[in-house]
Structures are given as C-alpha cells and as structure tokens.
Amino acid sequence: MTSKDPQCQQHDLHAAAATGAARGPVVRVAVPKPLHQLYDYAVPPGMRLPVPGARVRVPFGRQTLTAICVDAAPVDPHDQPRAVLAVLDDDNVLGEELLALGVWLADYYQHPLGEVLATLLPVEARRGTALQPPTRRGWRLNEPLPVPGRAPRQQALLEHLRAQGGRASADALREAGFSNAVIRAAAARGAITREALPLEADTAAGQSGAAAGAREGDRPTLNPAQARALATLEQGLGSFVPTLLDGVTGSGKTEVYLRLIETVRRRGQQVLVLVPEIALTPQTLERFRSRFDRADTLHSNMTDQQRLQVWLGCRSGGTGILVGTRSAVLTPFARLGLIVVDEEHDGSFKQQDGLRYSARDVAVKRAQTLGIPLLLGSATPSFESLHNARSGRYRHLALPERAGGAQMPSFHVLDIRGHTLSDGISERLRGIITTHLDAGNQVLVFLNRRGYAPTYLCPRCGWQAQCRHCETRLTLHRHPSALLCHHCGARERLPDRCPACEHGALRAIGLGTQRTEAGLETLFPGVPLIRVDRDTTRSQKRLEAQLTLIRAGTPAILVGTQMLAKGHHFPNVTLVAVINADAGFLSADFRAPERTAQLIIQVAGRAGRAERAGEVWIQTYQPDNPMLRALMEHGYHGFAEQELENRRRAGLPPFRPMAIIRAEARDAAAAQRLLAELKSQLTQAAGAGVEVLGPVQAPIQKVADRYRYQLLLLADGRGPLHRTLRVLNDRPADDRRVRWSLDIDPQDTF
C-alpha cells in the first residue's frame, strides 16, 4: 500500500487542487480488483471534489468501475492520470469508522483495499446506486389548520398530530389507535397529506421512552448469577470492555443479552448482535422481536434491496437492534453502543473465501475503536477466547447453572467394543431410547455425517466408489439412490455391478444419518422420526416445519447432524445419544479435538432443558481415548485446559499466530513450484521467530480436478508474521494456472 492515512480531511484535497491549479486536483482511488495498489485519477474542472469514502466512477483498462476515493494525491506534472467520470456521493458513504476499519482489514488480512472496501458496501451500492436514506410512510398536518369537523376521531387525529409536532409515521398512528378509515377520511378532506419521513423519526421516541421499545411484561426474574453478570456488564457500558460470558447450555445467557440491550437502548445507542445461523435458529430472532418493538436482521436469504435498506437504517441510526450473521459485523452504525457475539466459538463466524475475516475478531477491533463493550457468549468458548480470558485481556463472567430450575444432563459413556450394532444402534442404547419414549419424551440421535453410507465397495475385489474429480470416496445416498461427492457436488448413478470385477452385490459400509434413520424406523415402528441435516433442510419452509414438529413435544426421535447442536431449545428432549464420538477425535487437524468437544457438549446441551432431567449417552469404540475421558471426567473446561497445554507445548494458536497459504492447480507440479517460490521469498523476509513450513499436500489432495498444496506459517508474534507476509503483496494473486490465497488465523488447516 503506497498511500497515506485515508482518513485525511477534505482540505487536503483542496490544497492539492491549489498546487496543481492548471491540471486540476488528483485523487487516489481503491478499485474493486485483486490488486494491492491504489490508482490516481484527475478530477476534471467543474466536477465536485470527492471526499475520502465517496464513490467515484472511473475508467480502468477497458472497464468502467465503481471505486472509492481514499485520499488526495500529489499532482505530478509529468503524470497524465485518467479522469474521474463521475462523483457519486457528497459524503463518505461508509463513515469514518468503517473506512478506517477497511484499511485495518486490508492490512490485517493482507487483502487488497479496493476489494475490502467493496465488501463493506452492500451489493446495490457497489453497482453505483444512489443511496437514499430510508424512509417510512407518514402523514403531515396541513396548514392552515382546517376548520374543526364534526367527526370526533378525525379531530382526535389532528390533535394527536399537532402534539407530535405536525408529523407522525403511519405505524405510529396505527399504534396510537387511529384506523385507516379515519386517516383516509382526514386526508380526503385535505386536513393531512402523505409524507415520507426519515426512519429515525420513531426511534427518537424510543430514546426518551422508559425501556426504549422493550416489553417488560414477560421477562423472567434473573437468577443470582445472571443478576451479578448483568450488574458487572452494566458498569462497563461506555468503554471498551471485552467480556466472555461463559455460561453452560441453557444458563440464560440470552436473557442477560436482552437485559443489557434494554439498558443500551435506553441510552439511545444501537446494538449489534451476531449469531451463527439465523435460518437454523429462527427462535433466536423471535426472542429479540418478542422483547423489543423492532429488531432488524441481515442474513443470506435476503434480496439486495432488503439488505441495502437495513444497511442504510443502521448507518442513519434508525435501526436500534441488528441481529445478523457473519457479514453483519461490517455494517456501519451511527451510534453503536454494544456488540454481542452469541455462540462465539462457532465456525461460521470465519469467512472461508475472498476476504477471510473472523467476524468475532473484527467485532473485537470495532468495539475497541468505538470504545464500547463487547460481549462474547458461549457454553464452549473458543480456545482463543478462553486464552484471552485467562490471561486477563477479557473479563470472564460465569453462569455455572441452568436458569429456571433445569438441571444439567448426566453423561454416560457406552463402550460398544464387541457389541453388534443395528445400523449404528447398540442393544443397550435401544433399551435406553425405549425408556425415554415410553415416558412420553423426545430423543435426539446425533451423527455428524449426512447421506446413507460414506463407503460403497465391492466385497470381492475391494473396488470403492471414488469421485472422478476429487481424491475422496463417494457417499451413498438413498431416496433417490445416487453416489454423491460431498466435496465437488458430483453425482453418479449407482452401478449395478462392480465396475472392476462385475460382482453383483456391492455393499454400503459405515453410517450416515439416512441409514440411522432407516435403522431407527425398523427398531421403533410407529414412532415419528424427524431427520435434520443439509439434505432435509434445503428449503427454509421444510426446516421450520420440522422444528415446529419437534416443538409440538409429542414423543419422537430426532436424527441429525451438527445442525441439531446449534442453540435450539427443545424442552421435551430428555435423551441425547451420540452414535459415534470417535471420528472427530481422530482427525488430523489441530483444532479437531476442540471442535469435537464443542460439538458433543453443545448437542448434549439440548437434553433436559426444561423440568424433566436429561441424560447423554455416548457410544464409542475407544472408551479410553484420553480426550474423551478428559471431557467426560473434567467437563469442557478441564478438557480445554489440557488441550491448551498441548497447544502451548506445540507452539500452536492461540499461543502463536498462524497463517496458511493454499495453492491449487490442475497441474500438481505447478502448484508445488509456486509454493516453493513463495516459500523462498518468505524465508528471506522472515526474521527470527517465524517458521515457514511446507509445501505439503493438503489433507484432501485433489478437489474438483485441482491439486492442492499448502504452506504453513507460525510466528512468535503478530508483528513478525505480518511483516513477513507483506513480501507477497507485490505478487498477483493468481496466474492463469495456479490459484493461491492467504488465510490469516485459519480455522481449517486443510
């Protein structure tokens, strides 16, 4: 990056304009291209000067792009920059804080500023659409005041409007009890006129109102731990205090968020709540909406227009509460007072392509810049956050017990060595399931693999169904029967006979949710089965229908993947059965133990959330696996302590920062060559305390016909790591044959 601080003021631009009088001013622009460079453009005479953060239309090669002005540029008399075609905004569209955040993101994630700034804009705004502040439908009292009519409701309406300063939104009038008929009649006789009001109009009332739009009626009384946590959090309002709210599943963390949000709203400030997946847990949003008059949302199932409206509402201050997924952390706010990250350990907070940011880490950065509190909540905190809490960088608040009288479930390990299983279910587990169903309860059976079976093979010659495009096995699916690749999406017909030896009886080996479902159907005829995985929930409607069925509460068996582990509140589930705990602990990824433990504790947390006590049974072939034992005997925190010690000894995150460089190409040698080149560049730049490891094959070596290799960097500090990686900025991200990318703080090391 060659520019100076882009937050420079507009007078710099005029100064530049003055010195280059004959040639006109020149501005430095970030174009939405994967290039680590800013470009200079001349502002033709008569055109308004763009301020930093204003969108401009510029010619680029043969294209015309919507870009962002970041700075004034010195006028070089020998230079002949191309001219800006149009200035689209009078102001900084992102606002100062977000523009500065963009610069920080570009630097921290070593991503081109032009692409980062484009990411910060809603899609509509990237296209150059004019950004009108959002409005609501409203009514204005006409002058001169009309002569009093005889209709008392109309008269009341006019008086109400006068008391409101002559204007009110249609929603507010309806809430005040004026029917559409009355409003239409008053309009018909010319007493009032339709008018678009700024969105802020209504929330101004919220700021002075007692609870800022919160409904107080149906709130539970906080238990002592919740009350203590809330009191501590309220003391921290108005300054940067990052807090880890470490509360067991069902301990009432959400209730603490809601109360804190009320206080922040009463101060007239806005609140950002980040959640892992809104589509999966519509309950969470409902809870915010049932407590506050209004909570806006941002998630992937919205149109570009809808997203733009919400974005503008947040920017103008009209939106009081935004509940959103990962990318909501990049929204501008006029008066942000609090950021909450719910289930902060969740992997979905990390973006896996393009600008590979962690929404949780960006939330920390924003809270720090704005001087506001940040609340990270989880029953299974990420090791990063635990480490920060232990080292005193975060405040650590605990909610050790379930709220409202519910008990934590009991844990049991079921050793299945030597047992015959029926589609994954042992005889013992079958009995336990029966007991719970007979008592009128629901049972949750967890297996983290979708499809029918992960392997389809020939028992005679050993042939296995493999993906043609990836180095993986195909997964057998039923209804309809097909072999699917879970990596590239390829689909193949089931062969009738073995393609290698013509043997006629091919066999499905291993377990997926479809097979478990089929097995349970046979074992428990007549019991309703609800399967929840990516295949059964492609439509939001179907997912919601399934969740409704579960909440109906009649005895049923739920079968599903990690989708069932996420934040759901199923009051009638009293048994959670983990069919196979072993696979997760065996993975090569250094984060696998952390993730597996989180998954087991989270899915277990669905048991016994109401009056009826819950139990958790875990089937394993490795009852003596030290990780499983640590988790069972010492709980998540004891487990984490042990694992963190292993990480510290191995010099891994969170003790040392990590980065991965991935390369993929149709030609394996080309990918390896590129990484070898990058490695030598990096090694030259690396000072003491920076390790560059590799290149090695990615754990899945080929996906979609591309061979994948990677380099791993570990450093003793962020400074050395980032200084080293900066040497890559001069390289184009892709050449025709090899695609490569940099991932800072990667979540997956493959």
Residues at the interface with ligand ADP (CB under 6 A): 220-223, 226, 247, 249-255, 403-404, 569
Can residue 42 be called a binding residue for Zn ion (CB under 5 A)? no
321-324 β-sheet, strand order? 296-298, 321-324, 270-274, 336-342, 374-378, 242-247, 395-399
- Cβ burial, residue 522 (10 Å; 0-12/13-18/19+): exposed
Instruction: Give the residue from 667, 750, 668 showing the smallest Cα distance to 710.
Output: 750
Residue 252 touches which member of Zn ion, ligand ADP, none, C-beta under 5-8 Å by kind:
ligand ADP
- Smallest gap from Cβ 85 to ligand ADP, in A, equals 51
From the list ligand ADP, Zn ion, none, which binds 500 (C-beta under 5 to 8 Å, kind-based)? Zn ion
307 Cβ neighbours under 8 A, 6+ residues apart: 122, 123, 124, 298
Q: Which does 485 bind (CB under 5 to 8 A by kind): Zn ion, ligand ADP, none?
A: Zn ion
- Of the two residues 390 and 487, which places its CB atom closer to Zn ion in the complex? 487
From ligand ADP, Zn ion, none, interface partner of 160 (C-beta below 5 to 8 A by class):
none
- Which does residue 255 touch among Zn ion, ligand ADP, none (CB within 5 to 8 A, set by kind)? ligand ADP
**For Zn ion, the closer CB: 637 or 666:** 666
The token pair that represents 421 in the structure block? 């299983």
Answer with the entry of Zn ion, ligand ADP, none that 63 interacts with (C-beta below 5 to 8 A by kind). none
Q: How far apart are CA 657 and CA 163, in angstroms?
A: 59
Sign of the four-CA dihedral 94, 100, 106, 108: negative
Does 488 bind Zn ion (CB under 5 A)? Our answer is yes
Collapsing DSSP to helix, strand or coil, 6 comes out as coil
Q: Answer with the entry of ligand ADP, Zn ion, none that 461 interacts with (C-beta below 5 to 8 A by kind).
A: Zn ion
In 37-127, alpha helices (H): 96-108, 113-120, 123-126
- For ligand ADP, the closer CB: 252 or 381: 252
Quote the longest CA-to-CA distance of the chain: 97
Smallest gap from Cβ 343 to ligand ADP, in A, equals: 9
Residue 501 binding partner per list Zn ion, ligand ADP, none, with a CB distance cut-off of 5 to 8 Å that depends on partner kind: Zn ion
Q: Which lies closer to ligand ADP via its Cβ, residue 23 or residue 569? A: 569
Out of ligand ADP, Zn ion, none, what residue 254 binds, judged by CB under 5 to 8 A for its kind, is: ligand ADP
* Distance in Å, CB of 405 to ligand ADP, minimum: 7
617 and 412 in contact (C-beta within 8 Å)? yes
Minimum Å gap between C-beta 399 and ligand ADP is 7
- The DSSP symbol for 726 reads G
Q: Please, what is the minimum distance in Å from the beta carbon of residue 673 to Zn ion?
A: 25
> For ligand ADP, which residue has the nearest CB?
404
- The footprint of Zn ion on this chain (CB under 5 A) covers a number of residues equal to 15
Beta-bridge partner residues of 619: 414
Sequence-separated (6 or more) residues with CB below 8 Å from residue 576: 409, 443, 444, 446, 603, 604, 606, 607, 614, 615, 616, 617
Shortest CB 603 distance to ligand ADP, Å: 13
Residue 490 touches which member of ligand ADP, Zn ion, none, C-beta under 5-8 Å by kind: Zn ion
H or E element that contains 270 = strand 270-274
Quick check: 500 binds Zn ion (CB under 5 A)? yes
**Closer to ligand ADP at the Cβ: 375 or 678?**
375
For residues 457 and 441, what is the distance between their CA atoms, to the nearest angstrom? 39
DSSP H or E run through 395: strand 395-399
Cβ atoms of 355 and 115 closer than 8 Å: yes
Residues 558-617 that bind Zn ion (CB under 5 A): none
- The answer to whether the peptide bond before residue 480 is cis (omega within 30 degrees of 0) is yes
Determine, following the binding rule CB under 5 A, whether residue 503 of this chain makes contact with Zn ion: yes
Residue 255 or residue 594: which is nearer to ligand ADP going by CB?
255
700 binds Zn ion (CB under 5 A): no
**Shortest spacing between CB 220 and ligand ADP, in angstroms:** 3
Q: Which is nearer to Zn ion, 467 or 628 (CB)?
A: 467
Report cis status (omega within 30 of 0) of the bond before 654.
yes
- Given a contact cutoff of 8 angstroms between Cβ atoms, the answer to whether 334 and 274 are in contact is no
Q: How far is the CB of 359 from Zn ion (least distance, A)?
A: 29
Q: Which is nearer to ligand ADP, 53 or 252 (CB)?
A: 252
Taking the complex as a whole, the smallest distance from the CB of residue 488 to Zn ion amounts, in Å, to 3
Q: Does 433 bind Zn ion (CB under 5 A)?
A: no
Residue 465 binds which one of ligand ADP, Zn ion, none, with CB within 5 to 8 A depending on kind? none
* Residue with smaller CB distance to Zn ion, 54 or 467: 467
487 binds, among Zn ion, ligand ADP, none (CB under 5 to 8 A by kind): Zn ion
159-166 LR contacts (CB < 8 Å, sep 24+): 161/192, 166/140, 166/141
Is 204 an interacting residue with respect to Zn ion (CB under 5 A)?
A: no
27/338 with CB nearer ligand ADP: 338
Q: Are 474 and 481 contacting, i.e. CB atoms less than 8 angstroms apart?
A: no
C-beta closer to Zn ion: residue 459 or 719: 459
Q: Is 701 one of the binding residues for Zn ion (CB under 5 A)?
A: no
Nearer to ligand ADP by C-beta: 252 or 510?
252
Minimum distance between the CB of residue 396 and ligand ADP, rounded to whole angstroms?
16
Identity of the residue numbered 269: Q
501 binds Zn ion (CB under 5 A): yes
Q: Which of 743, 669, 660 is nearest to 707 (CA)?
A: 669
By C-beta, is 488 or 549 nearer to Zn ion?
488
d(CA 457, CA 699): 22
Q: Which one of 19-27, 343-351, 352-360, 496-504 is the stretch in contact with Zn ion (CB under 5 A)? A: 496-504
Chain-centre distance for alpha carbon 356: 12
Q: Binding string to Zn ion for residues 453 to 482, with x set by CB under 5 A, is what? A: -----x-xx-x---x-xx------------
What pairing do the DSSP bridges indicate for beta strands 658-665 and 421-422? Answer: unpaired
**Residue among 665, 597, 599, 605 nearest 636 (CA):** 597
To 10 degrees, what angle do helices 96-108 and 113-120 make?
130
CA-nearest of 28, 37, 34, 33 to 8 is 28
Look at residue 228 and give the partner it binds from ligand ADP, Zn ion, none, a contact being a CB closer than 5 to 8 Å depending on partner kind: none
Query: Where on the phi/psi map is residue 24: left (φ > 0), alpha (ψ -120 to 50), or beta?
Result: left
Asked whether position 487 contacts Zn ion by CB under 5 A, the answer is: yes
222 binds, among Zn ion, ligand ADP, none (CB under 5 to 8 A by kind): ligand ADP
Q: What is the contact surface with Zn ion in residues (CB under 5 A)? A: 458, 460-461, 463, 467, 469-470, 485, 487-488, 490, 498, 500-501, 503
